[in-house]
Structure 1
């Protein structure tokens, strides 16, 4: 069975356009990145959502941000079993090998993963309750936050849960011994952000007041 195919024509065209223009104009920078390796100062854990682009949001060049993406920008709690933990592996590499100074968890509005968690907790998504659902089991990380939501409209509660996903991830990051040590020694700072993809807004998590405020 043929399991891999040629690149779609529209993507191939875009690649050739990039190679002939953007790459050629910045060829020296690309060669430098290839020869000297990466030295990002910041890691960003963001959602897989195609509407969220950390590079665009911070006007960052290639090599500036170490980016890991997953459903709903979640970080699981530390589990020392060495199994298949993609997010945990990315965090370990960023902190222990790249020695980033900043680690950002970036949440966003209209997050499909968070809405799925909300629907699952409300009993409206039986497919996610199925033990075989990868998405459902991943959203179990956020599930306890559903009970902490204040009363209100579904829209407001889902928006609140989006921000809970950022705080949960920040809390879970501190369960990793190498993250905790780096934070306590002042080598690493954690940051929580939430962006409104429609309005272009950006808010940061203020741990002292336990609220999100405009950047």
Structure 2
């Protein structure tokens, strides 16, 4: 490959600082992680957004979360069609190989992907409706959620659709047979969260109450 360039110097310096401090102080722990393999208790599906530092929010160390990130923290429906499905592959691996006990889907405030979906579905972003748009076709997963919130006052639609991204993903998660079977048997519990970045708060969807509540 002749198109790559050296890593930016600030990243090199940060790595060297980490290696000299955090790694050196915990070398035996890192070597144990490397030798023993991973045994995470939970899978966390969250957004690619750089402001969402999921492992920091939960005070997690290396090895605790099997972490998957994508635009708007979406889970597509189960569709074994021979195509390439990164999120579906991650879920399959987490459930069938790693045997995680929990799957957590966490959305967040001010989500750019959800804002794009809102604009696309409302006809304000025709570029996302083009078949060539990877973002637009990915956000098609959230169209059922848009149908449920489209009649809300405009100022309430963004947050409502961010939470719908979590609910749609929970619904789609249960279309995976190996997930549904483990939920039914009690081997896995699934959870839906919404994180307010500015407030530093988390709301959890509670099935019995039928709404998101702060934790």
What TM bracket, shorter-length normalisation? over 0.9
Secondary structure at 2:141 match in 1: coil
- Structure 1's consecutive aligned runs of 4 or more residues displaced over 4 angstroms after TM superposition are none
Once the two structures are superposed, residues 40-62 of structure 1 have per-residue CA deviations (whole angstroms, 9 ceiling, x without a partner) of 00000000000001110100000
Partner of 1:193: 193
Partner of 1:171: 171
Partner of 1:88: 88
Secondary structure at 2:104 match in 1: strand
2:204 and 2:214 in contact (8 A); partners too: yes
Correspondence 1:5-154 to 2 at 5 A: 5-149=5-149, 151-154=151-154
2:144 and 2:168 in contact (8 A); partners too: no
Q: C-alpha separation between the residues in 2 aligned to 1:147 and 1:175?
A: 20
Q: C-alpha separation between the residues in 1 aligned to 2:58 and 2:28?
A: 22
Once the two structures are superposed, residues 72-121 of structure 1 have per-residue CA deviations (whole angstroms, 9 ceiling, x without a partner) of 00000000123200000000000000000000000000000000000001
- When normalised by structure 1's length, the TM-score is 0.97
Instruction: Please state if 1:180 is matched with 2:192.
Output: no
Deviation for aligned residue 1:156? 1.3
Q: C-alpha separation between the residues in 2 aligned to 1:90 and 1:51?
A: 22
- When normalised by structure 2's length, the TM-score is 0.97
Q: C-alpha separation between the residues in 2 aligned to 1:82 and 1:182?
A: 24
Secondary structure at 2:131 match in 1: coil
Q: C-alpha separation between the residues in 2 aligned to 1:95 and 1:46?
A: 17
Q: C-alpha separation between the residues in 2 aligned to 1:55 and 1:145?
A: 27
